[in-house]
Amino acid sequence: MILSALLRADEIEPTLSVCGVALVAHPAGALYEPSSGALVLADLHLEKGSSFARRGQMLPPYDTATTLGRLARLVDVYRPRVVIALGDSFHDRGGPARLTDADRGALTALQRGRDWIWISGNHDPEPPAGCGGETAAEMALGPLALRHEPTAGARRGEIAGHLHPVARIAVRGRGLRRRCFATDGARIVLPAFGAYAGGLNVRDAAFGGLFAPGALTAWMLGETGVYAIAGGALRPD
Amino acid sequence: MLAPEPSPDTQTALPDRFASWFAGRGWAPRSHQLALLAHAREKRDALLIAPTGAGKTLAGFLPSLIELADGRETGEGLHTIYVSPLKALAVDVARNLTAPVAEMGLPIRIEGRTGDTPAGRRKRQKQHPPDMLLTTPEQLALLIGDPGAARLFETVRRVVVDELHALAPTKRGDQLALALARIRALAPDVVTVGLSATVRAPAELRRWLVDPRRGAPLAELVEITGGAAPDITVHETDERLPWSGHGGRHAMAEIYEAIRRHKTTLLFANTRAQAELTFQELWRINEDTLPIALHHGSLDVGQRRKVEAAMAEGRLKAIVATSTLDLGIDWGDVDLVVHMSSPKGASRLLQRTGRANHRLDEPSKAIIVPANRFEVLECEAARDAALAGDQDAEAVKPGGLDVLAQHILGVACGTPFDEDDLFAEVVSTAPYAALDRKTFDDVIQFVATGGYALKSYDRFAKIRRTPDGLWRVSNPSVAQAWRMNVGTIIEASSLKVRMGRVRRTAAGAVNPAGYGGRLIGEIEEYFVETMTPGDTFMFGGEILKYEALIENEIYVSRSNSEAPKVPTYVGGRMPLTTGVAARVRAILDDPSQWTRLPTQTREWLGFQQERSVIPDREKLLVETFPRAGKYFLVTYPFEGRLAHQTLGMLMTRRLERAHARPLGFVASDHALAIWGLGDVSAMIAGDLLSLDQLFDEDMLGDDLEAWLAESSLMKRTFRNCAIIAGLIERNVIGAKRKTGRQVTMSTDLVYDVLRRHEPDHVLLRAAYQDAAGGLIDLWRVADFLKRVKQHIEHRPLDRVSPLAIPILLEVGREPVYGAAQDALLREAAETLVEEAMGPLPGTKGAGPPGFLRSL
């Protein structure tokens, strides 16, 4: 009962713990580590809209502004000392060059007064030109290892993105599919943060072997809270 | 207005070759065939309205055959295009035409062109067109966008549109209307012929067939009336009639008897679930193992074709079907049509009934089987309407802007266009007659660059205006992508159903055990979403157990359970039409008519009279009563399920604001029930709530906007529009499952972003127009609210009223709409926590599960 009450008490922004490090999970899909003041997010996929437009699918050109706006609200809430983007920050190599002036300005404003680290991903293996910040292939945060793609096999303390986890449950006859943090207590895979980033079900084979058997919990993102659903209740797509 | 009568001198009307062919079969040309011929000779567009079996198709082709027979060499290009909504129909017509053409020795080449036509033949058809091409709206659209379109179409003299009543009100109809306008531009002499079943408003179809710029505002009308009146009975039973449900199980033995007594029976069900149930029940009692088959849209295509072939060969005694068999090839031997539960509309009842007996002079025979006590009323009303010859009104919808976008790009792929000319061409069609220039320009901009206020995609434009003022495609890959995307039918995302066992590895992976078994059909993804492996459901006439989902197939095994665990599989549920609803109200309101109702129904209405009141034809009855700790508001608008759902959604919002604390609602075709924690009777008595205000028309303002914008319905509608308009490519949507991975594009995300940044974008307007006209039945809600203004009759009761029983039995069967998803997520999390916290069976004080240890 106590645990249940605890879960309810901090259900809005629950704390996930990996390797003894407490991380606050925000419903927008980011982690905040209070002692270092680091805000961690994954898979921004900036300029995905224009990337599709290049090939004739004219998606609304507002995804970058939406994603950066969402990020700006998080920055307002936590005032992080450092923002760490776990790769695939741009949808393709040409993305940084296609930023509108307004979006570029918004990005610069967000970077002012804090460190900014672009971890490279498969969509953006090179540092984003003219976008400030530092670039790294991966980095350590205390005992945590931050990188884009989760490493196969058990990796205690790994914080990664790349897979765009979503979870699906069925409640009262209707299915709910939401982005989620996927964790077994040893590692966390972050949900994609980008406005146009799709999702991959955590039951997909791509997640196979990443989590200790039976230990997976999906922290599903609601509008106002993050909700823990045990692995057994999760449905495939 | 009737068409001018053809010349009575039928001898001169037909060329010798034709006259002797008719004579040789002992036939005389029918007057409608001659009438159509006369109109064709005068180059007048014409609409032929006729019941099935009247020789409609031959009438449509006769003028072309005659024209082609004399004075025209074959190889002079395409002369006649026949368009049908069904591939199968195009194939069947080809077969039926081949016989007379061969027998008369006419030098006419007839070919079909559907999605199944081999690429080689399609190419040849463009280089050496046949005299007659039989095809579908989608194939025609593809030809319009072909660079050879101008050459291909310039020789066309006639376009015959079959089943026009079914095509015109749909997006496929919009697409076809635009294609026709294009053909007219390329072949100014073309004449149209529409073939249609009986409809309520022939003038709409007559307008559809013409280009008013060319003269006549309406096509000539040729109508075949008369014929024997159908023989429609409402099934009576000595069994107990259920209170609710749509199964009709109580009547199965008697239906079986009827099947046995008749030569061939067609059984129509309103939903796939009902078809499945009927099929299963019939086979349960099928002691003579009569050949009874099942046919619905989820079954494997191969399976369906087999059933159709068996039917054509007369090897079947009965088919249980859904609307999949509403249109299609005529089967001569059907002598009985059974309608499982209410047909919901008079036109549908008449058309389905017409599938029995194709001889005009003998009555078609149909039985309607009411599934529950209330439905008896509805079935009687539908029968009255059908016998009175009422046709249901099809709401006239403006042409879809998404279809227009697809068409504009197609036109550009074919030939560079001038926007003024194209605008004039588009507004010459019936669906787009009211289109304003600004919206048209917006659609062009949408096609070119997405049409966003933020002009960041100009350099990626798909079509561009060149210095000569014409719009052209930017590069060949645009045309290639367009060709992959042509069509307006969006299949619900579906999964294949395969019989087969699965193997689970230690690591938790699921694989097929051995080779997969036979493929039995497809099922909508949303249905599978709600199931867990081990659940049973009914499909293809069997109760199946859901084993696993692997790639894009669900694996199932046969189950020996008596009843499926997951009962609902709603597919194609039609709302009650206004006409039948009005007749239901009339029967209710006139107790002298109750004598024809079964005793059980009469008793029930008698109780309602005693305890509450029978709904008046002019007034809206609202009952409020407490039940099981909650307070109910039940009302009986008789406006159909879709309209009631919309109403329920909007009224729930209002009741929330009035602090009535509503918890949920359920809608049926007749009634709407809302329940909550606030005592509505007391609130009304204490002037805290006014029913007049609750039902005020102003709910269609901000409340509607706010609800609609958030609803999943709108997102689904937007997705369909986005695909048709070419914002998202079909192949991209489907790509996820093929690769087994990733992460393509969810249109929900695009919708959210677009709505926030450009709420007035043309594609959002298109989606809103679709939602308002279709799924939420907005116009019907609006008419209803206007009508009941100041006409509300409130009955506060101390318990549930007899009339409310059927709707209350629906409670819990339908998902709760508009419920905050967070509440559901929280509920799921909490339920699971409670489950996890409880001691495991046989253990004491087991520790919390893995994920909680991290807390």
CATH number of A18-233: 3.60.21
Burial B438-462 (b: 16+ CB within 10 A, else e): ebbebbbbbbbbbbbeeebbeebbb
Residue B717 banded pLDDT, cuts 50, 70, 90: confident
- Please check the confidence at residue B841 and state whether its pLDDT lies above 90: no
Mean pLDDT calculated for residue range B278-291? 90
Task: Give B-chain residues touching A216 at CB under 8 angstroms.
Answer: 851
Residue B528, Ramachandran bin (φ over 0: left; ψ between -120 and 50: alpha; else beta) = alpha
pTM value > 0.90? no
- The pLDDT tens digits for B399-440 are 999 999 999 999 999 999 999 999 999 999 999 999 999 999
Other residues' Cβ atoms within 10 Å of the Cβ of residue B394 = 18
- Please check the confidence at residue B507 and state whether its pLDDT lies above 60: no
- Please check the confidence at residue B196 and state whether its pLDDT lies above 70: yes
Query: From the CA of A99, how many Å to the nearest CA of chain B?
Result: 10
Other residues' Cβ atoms within 10 Å of the Cβ of residue B389 = 12
Helices (H) and strands (E) in chain A, counts: 5, 16
**Residue of A45, A58, A180 for testing the chain B interface, max B β-carbons within 10 Å:** A58
Q: B191: helix, coil or strand?
A: strand
CATH number of B10-223: 3.40.50.300
- The pLDDT tens digits for B526-582 are 666 656 677 777 776 677 888 877 766 788 888 877 666 554 444 445 678 888 888
Least confident of B198-212, B438-452, B649-663: B649-663
- Please check the confidence at residue A6 and state whether its pLDDT lies above 50: no
Higher pLDDT, A161 or B509: A161
Residue B652: half-sphere exposure toward Cβ, Cα within 13 Å = 23
Distance between CA atoms of residues B333 and B788, nearest Å: 48
**Residue of B716, B749, B827 for testing the chain A interface, max A β-carbons within 10 Å:** B749
Residue B738 banded pLDDT, cuts 50, 70, 90: very low
Contact A171 B828 (CB under 8 A): yes
Distance between CA atoms of residues B425 and B173, nearest Å: 16
Contact A230 B740 (CB under 8 A): no
Query: What secondary structure letter does DSSP report for B762?
Result: H
Residue ranges per domain, chain A? 18-233
Query: From the CA of B5, how many Å to the nearest CA of chain A?
Result: 54
- The pLDDT tens digits for B598-640 are 888 888 888 888 889 998 888 999 999 998 788 999 999 988 8
Task: Give A-chain residues touching B751 at CB under 8 angstroms.
Answer: none
The alpha-carbon radius of gyration of chain B (Å, integer) is 29
Q: What percent of chain A has pLDDT over 70?
A: 93
Q: Which long-range contacts (CB under 8 A, 24 or more apart) does B684-693 make?
A: B684/B624, B684/B794, B684/B796, B685/B796, B688/B658, B688/B659, B689/B655, B689/B658, B689/B660, B691/B622, B691/B792, B691/B794, B692/B789, B692/B790, B692/B792
- The pLDDT tens digits for A112-141 are 999 999 999 988 888 898 999 999 999 999
Residue B506 banded pLDDT, cuts 50, 70, 90: low
Residue B380 banded pLDDT, cuts 50, 70, 90: very high
Residue B782, Ramachandran bin (φ over 0: left; ψ between -120 and 50: alpha; else beta) = alpha
- The pLDDT tens digits for A50-91 are 999 998 899 999 999 999 999 999 999 999 999 999 999 999
Report the pLDDT value the prediction gives residue B823, as an integer from 0 to 100: 58
The average confidence (pLDDT) of chain B is 82
Minimal-distance CA residue of chain B relative to A49:
B750
Higher pLDDT, B259 or B676: B259
Residue ranges per domain, chain B? 10-223, 231-387, 401-485, 494-558, 824-853
* Residue A214 contacts B where some CB pair is shorter than 8 Å: yes
Query: From the CA of B449, how many Å to the nearest CA of chain A?
Result: 6
Question: What class has domain B231-387?
Answer: alpha beta
Distance between CA atoms of residues B59 and B68, nearest Å: 15
Report the pLDDT value the prediction gives residue A9, as an integer from 0 to 100: 39
Query: From the CA of A124, how many Å to the nearest CA of chain B?
Result: 17
| 3-state secondary structure labels for all residues of B396-444 | CCCCCHHHHHHHHHHHHHHCCECHHHHHHHHCCCCCCCCCCHHHHHHHH
Residues 83-122 of A with CB under 8 A from B: 98, 100
Report the pLDDT value the prediction gives residue A176, as an integer from 0 to 100: 78
Minimal-distance CA residue of chain A relative to B495:
A237
Q: Which amino acid is at A162?
A: H
Query: From the CA of A185, how many Å to the nearest CA of chain B?
Result: 6
Q: What percent of chain B has pLDDT over 70?
A: 83
CB burial of residue B284 (10 Å; 0-12, 13-18, 19+) = exposed
Report the pLDDT value the prediction gives residue B303, as an integer from 0 to 100: 82
Mean pLDDT calculated for residue range B8-36? 80
- Please check the confidence at residue B323 and state whether its pLDDT lies above 50: yes
Contact A197 B743 (CB under 8 A): yes
Report the pLDDT value the prediction gives residue B2, as an integer from 0 to 100: 38
Residue B393 banded pLDDT, cuts 50, 70, 90: confident
- The pLDDT tens digits for B165-192 are 889 988 999 999 999 999 999 999 999 9
Report the pLDDT value the prediction gives residue B845, as an integer from 0 to 100: 34
Same CATH topology for B10-223 and B231-387? yes
**Residue of B743, B810, B831 for testing the chain A interface, max A β-carbons within 10 Å:** B743
- Please check the confidence at residue A216 and state whether its pLDDT lies above 60: yes
- The pLDDT tens digits for B64-75 are 999 888 766 656
Contact B457 A212 (CB under 8 A): no
Mean pLDDT calculated for residue range B769-774? 80
Q: What is the DSSP string of B65-127?
A: HHHHHSS--TTS---EEEE-S-HHHHHHHHHHHHHHHHHTT----EEEE-TTS-HHHHHHHHH
